Structure 1
Amino acid sequence: MSDASEHAPETVASAGERSADGTPEAADEQIAFDLSTFPGGARSAIEAVLMVVDEPVTELSLASALELPVEDVVEHLHALEQEYSTQQRGFTLRSVAGGWRVYSRPEFAPVVEKFVLDGQQARLTQASLETLAVIAYRQPVSRARVSAVRGVNVDGVVRTLVSRGLIEEVDDVGESGALLYRTTTYFLQRLGLSSLDELPALAPYLPDVDVIDELIEEGHR
């Protein structure tokens, strides 16, 4: 009669290569789990991951981490979104900047703001907001062009926006050799947008590119 252990499935620890004497060697550390054993199954597992991410996570990333088909993950995400809305929870699930993340519901903004800021307003100045708007609608754009639109030097404001993670330098420089700037994914997150296409239609109110070029040339005379 053979030893039953000869046919027993190997554990994660013993699944690595064996040494010459047959002793299991250390395998790469892996986390093994069965989603069916968790309360709530796969949907609750997805929810647990969403509660700890600090930036939107893609459907593909969730599917890869939990070893689920992407279509199943999408179904669970929409179900959670509907569940939170139906139960009028203090938070909601939103698709933003190409991924999913849990946010507090907009109607609770005054409560959250009071708790987080404790009465201190950490808001952008009017100059920063105007500069950010020009960059958002004209990106990628140089500081000279932004200055031409606003009529003032924006070097300090641009540095502030970069330090806050709202804008970033573009790898490629413009035709004039000047550094170009664009908004970041964090900018989309802060505004609750999935893409720049969702920005309000304010572009028609900004000067045309030709007009900006003329203003820049006049400023250099």
Structure 2
Amino acid sequence: MGDEERRDSLADQAAAWVPPWARPRPPAADPSGPPDEPATAPDTDEPGAAPPRPDAGSAAGPGEPDLGPAEPDPDGVASDEVDPPATEFGAVTPPTAGPDLGAVTEDTAGSSGAAGDVPRRQSAGRRRATAAPEPAPELSDAELRGALEAILLVVDEPVSELVLAQVLDQPAERVGPMLDEIAAGYTTAGHGFELRRAAGGWRLYTRPEYATYVERFVLDGQSVRLTQAALETLAVVAYKQPVTRSRISAIRGVNCDGVIRTLVTRGLVEECGTEQDSGAFLYRTTTLFLEKLGLNTVDELPPLAPFLPDDVEELADATR
């Protein structure tokens, strides 16, 4: 080949040469696998073909020594090849070509901090919303006494100390002694009413010494008394409870089914289960019974011994 033809060939190659940063990036080789095979040298006879590169493992060009295939780089890229600035997502931009990384970091931290403040503020709000209400101020002795008297004046059934404490928002340990103090004060002052325990609670009652006047006022022209049979049946239930109807009839000597129904209707007696052996219904007195008699429990019923006749044992033997 002449010198002229050689110069023309080199000029064509130089015109068709592509710089390394404009070439497509070869795929990275697996470091654990075998080294990549040398790439096939492009056909230099085609117009615009790039000259072979010895460092890329291609065949040597005309007049150039064949240096053999280049040893693969651990990263799969020739060591003498400089990567151009990457433009795909996730590539690191050089500090001179991109924004200030420190400013970005500060902005990101600031935004995350601001975003983190929102749940903290929300949780604080929830804590304030669910926080226990402040305890009510403690009443003075005079205020507590007046409040208890006002409530007891309007109740229609005995009310317990716990209920009174909840209504007044005061400790129950303070309500109990105050009720005892009020009851003692009424007794000392000689009022026509008194405060006493009944049916597990507290209620105002008229004093027994004024019962005649109260009865005259309440029962004037009315007949609300229980019959003799009802009183006897109620007494048997009160002292023998729980008791069956057959047992009541045996004690009284007469059938008491109708009387039991009357007492149940008036709320003085109620069913409380069945007898294990016979399956008969058991009866007992109610809270209304205790309230009407002004008793706290049935244990406060008067004993029967003083009212029994002297020959009770003889009568018992005669009935057997």
Q: Which runs of 4+ in 1 moved over 6 A?
A: none
Aligned residues: 186
Gaps of 5+ in 1: 1-21, 23-31, 216-221
Residue of structure 2 in register with 1:156 after alignment: 258
Determine which of 294, 297, 307 is the counterpart of 1:192: 294
**What is the aligned partner in structure 1 of residue 206 from structure 2?**
104
Aligned partners of 1:174 and 1:148: how far apart in 2?
A: 19
Asked if structure 2 preserves the Cα contact closer than 8 Å seen for 1:131 and 1:146, the reply is yes
Q: CA 1:67–1:85 in 2, change beyond 3 Å: closer, same or farther? A: same
Q: Cα distance, 1:140 vs. partner?
A: 0.9
Task: Report the 3-state secondary structure (helix = DSSP H, G, I; strand = E; otherwise coil) of the residue aligned with 1:92.
Answer: strand
**Identical-residue share of aligned pairs (%):** 57
CA distance in 1, matches of 2:188, 2:157: 25
| Residue in structure 2 matched with residue 176 of structure 1 by the alignment | 278
Letter in 2 for 1:112: V
Larger radius of gyration: 2
CA distance in 2, matches of 1:188, 1:174: 27
C-alpha separation in 1, matches of 2:270 and 2:282: 8
Contact 2:138–2:170 (Cα < 8 Å) also in 1: no
TM-score (norm 1): 0.73
2:274–2:280: 8 Å Cα contact kept in structure 1? no
Partners of 2:136 and 2:208 in 1: CA distance: 36
Task: Report the AA paired with residue 55 of structure 1.
Answer: E
Structure-2 residue corresponding to 1:138: 240
Distance in 2, Cα, partners of 1:142 & 1:172: 8
Distance in 1 (CA, whole Å) between partners of 2:276 and 2:225 is 31
Report the counterpart of residue 116 of structure 1 in structure 2.
218
1:60 corresponds, among 156, 162, 168, to 162
Question: Secondary structure of 1:68's partner?
Answer: coil
What is the CA-CA distance between 1:175 and the residue it aligns to?
A: 2.1
CA RMSD in angstroms, aligned pairs only: 3.2
| TM score, norm. by length of structure 2 | 0.51
Change (3 A) 1:53 1:69: same
Cα offset for 1:95?
A: 0.8
Instruction: State the 1:194 CA deviation.
Output: 1.4
Question: Secondary structure in 2 aligned to 1:108?
Answer: helix
Amino acid at match of 2:242: P
RCO comparison, higher one (Cα < 8 Å, 6+): 1
Shift of 1:172: 3.8
**Paired residue for 2:146?**
44
Q: Does 1:85 align with 2:201?
A: no
